[in-house]
Amino acid sequence: MLLLRGASEVVTPPETSIPLSGEAMGLVERHSNSDVLIEGNKIVAVGKKLECEADEIIDVKGKVIVPGFVDPHTHLVWAGSREHELEWKLQGRTYQEILASGGGILRTVKETRNSDVEKLQQQSLYRFKNAIKAGTTTLEIKSGYGLELETELKQLKVANWLGSLGLAETVVTFMGAHALPEGKDRREYISDVISMISEVKDLAVFCDVFCEEGAFTEEESRKILHEALKQGLGLKIHADEFGDTGGGRLAAELGVVSADHLAGSTIDTIIELREAGTIGVLLPGTPFAILSDHFAPARKMIANKLPLALATDCNPNCYTESMQLVQQLAVFRMKMTPAEALIASTVNSAFAIGKTDRGCIAEGWRADLLICDVPDYRHLTYHFGKNHVESVIIGGKVIDA
Ligand code: NIG
Ligand code: FE
């Protein structure tokens, strides 16, 4: 048993078996002067001055405890880097222009194909540890920098390997339809992706598709996702990043677990997604990284009761591992409240990757917790640019990442 003794506050979403939406997305519970008792990998009690014989006691006086952050959308396993593209973006080149001229995703595909496994592991582990130090205790990782079977498998294996290290848990997604590889005919590549699914399905739990102009059409995405569903994978879509171009509507039609980006979604699409039971995963780091002011309409989404989650999108275009930064961007650029940002980064983001056992601090929930050096949980967003996480507890163990 591990006892966290005397936190100034323990802040948690209310216990829930469905993602929180509307007003409920903005109401956290705040237990002042409280302890948290952990047995094995579970929380067994939360309360004032708990009586118990713990094997280990951590004094958390003056600290705030929140659930570990769940990052439900990353491309964390890649080789190389693209710092030169930031200069291109500053000169006015758009994300899609850079991709169309063989840069962007296609540049990273070349570097990832050419990297040996050890190098890919090393680069990925560095980012993985950065994520944990910033408070991420579970994260999703997509493939999609191989665009051919061998390298897709290499990425998926590294993503699973990270999850096997006893640090944070990983949830792995196959994203063969991330971009059309250079020199490939569209129809031929769609059929390649469809035939890859049976080869990768034991290494992934979700399949994702980049459904956007310059990437894959609605019809191509539908074909791939139908096959993935047949093979037992859960579904996700990168949708409406730049405009309402069909991805969001397809997400609703297929009832996917999450539709991600949604910066361009119209109100009709938002309502269709809500009716389909889909979670909107917002990635405010992405417009930030492409120097755009086009953030997802979070307030409209919350007013229309679409449950929202937040994620980093960690990738070589939007290079951050920090869910704290993402919550800060959500507050400052999308006008989410600190409570909404916290709920969207914990229990709701856990639902967005199919996890129902984490994201709340209450009896029976997984003991993934952060001890934060802040006077009040709202400082997690109010005081931006500093890592507030002092200790990370994952599955009941203090993790030294
Ligand atoms: O979610 N939009 C597509 N994929 C990633 C970017 C990947 C990259 O640029 O390398 C995204 O933004
Ligand atoms: Fe992405």
CA dihedral 91, 93, 98, 100 (to 10 degrees): -150
Q: pLDDT (tens digit, 9 = 90+) per residue, 30-57?
A: 999 999 999 999 999 999 999 988 999 9
Does residue 378 register a pLDDT over 90? yes
Q: List residues bridging with 265 in a β-sheet.
A: none
C-alpha 4 to ligand 1 mean position (Å) = 39
Residue 317's pLDDT is 97
Of ligand 1's atoms, which has the minimum distance to the CA of residue 104?
9
Q: What number is the average pLDDT over the span 358-385? A: 98
C-alpha 15 to ligand 2 mean position (Å) = 29
Cβ pair 308, 298 in contact under 8 A: yes
Return the domain boundaries, the chain: 2-67+360-399, 70-351
What is the Cα–Cα distance from 380 to 327, expressed in whole angstroms?
A: 8
Q: What is the DSSP string of 321-349?
A: --HHHHHHHHHHHH---HHHHHHHTTHHH
Q: Is the CB of 75 under 6 A from ligand 1?
A: yes
Q: What number is the average pLDDT over the span 63-70? A: 99
Q: pLDDT (tens digit, 9 = 90+) per residue, 301-324?
A: 999 999 999 999 999 999 999 999
Percent of the chain with pLDDT over 90: 97
Residue 4's pLDDT is 98
Cβ pair 199, 150 in contact under 8 A: no
Q: Give the residue from 103, 142, 99, 104 showing the smallest Cα distance to 124.
A: 142
Equal fold, 2-67+360-399 vs 70-351? no
Q: Give the residue from 112, 201, 117 showing the smallest Cα distance to 162.
A: 117
Per the structure block, which two tokens stand in for 147? 């665009």
Residue 214's pLDDT is 86
Residue 57's pLDDT is 97
Query: Residue 155 — pLDDT band, cuts 50, 70, 90?
Result: very high
Residue 356's pLDDT is 98
Check: CATH 3.90.76.10 for 2-67+360-399? no
Residue 260's pLDDT is 98
Of ligand 1's atoms, which has the minimum distance to the CA of residue 313?
1
Does residue 254 register a pLDDT over 90? yes
Per the structure block, which two tokens stand in for 126? 């560095």
Task: Read off φ and ψ for residue 220, nearest 5 degrees.
Answer: -65, -40
Specify the CATH architecture of the domain 70-351.
Alpha-Beta Barrel (3.20)
Q: Give the residue from 298, 278, 279, 277 showing the smallest Cα distance to 287.
A: 298
Q: In what order do the strands lie in the sheet with 279-282?
A: 69-71, 136-142, 169-177, 206-211, 234-239, 258-261, 279-282, 308-310
Q: List residues bridging with 389 in a β-sheet.
A: 372
Of ligand 1's atoms, which has the minimum distance to the CA of residue 73?
1
C-alpha 285 to ligand 2 mean position (Å) = 10
Q: What number is the average pLDDT over the span 163-174? A: 98
Whether this model's pTM surpasses 0.85: yes
Q: pLDDT (tens digit, 9 = 90+) per residue, 189-215?
A: 999 999 999 999 999 999 999 999 889
Query: Residue 226 — pLDDT band, cuts 50, 70, 90?
Result: very high
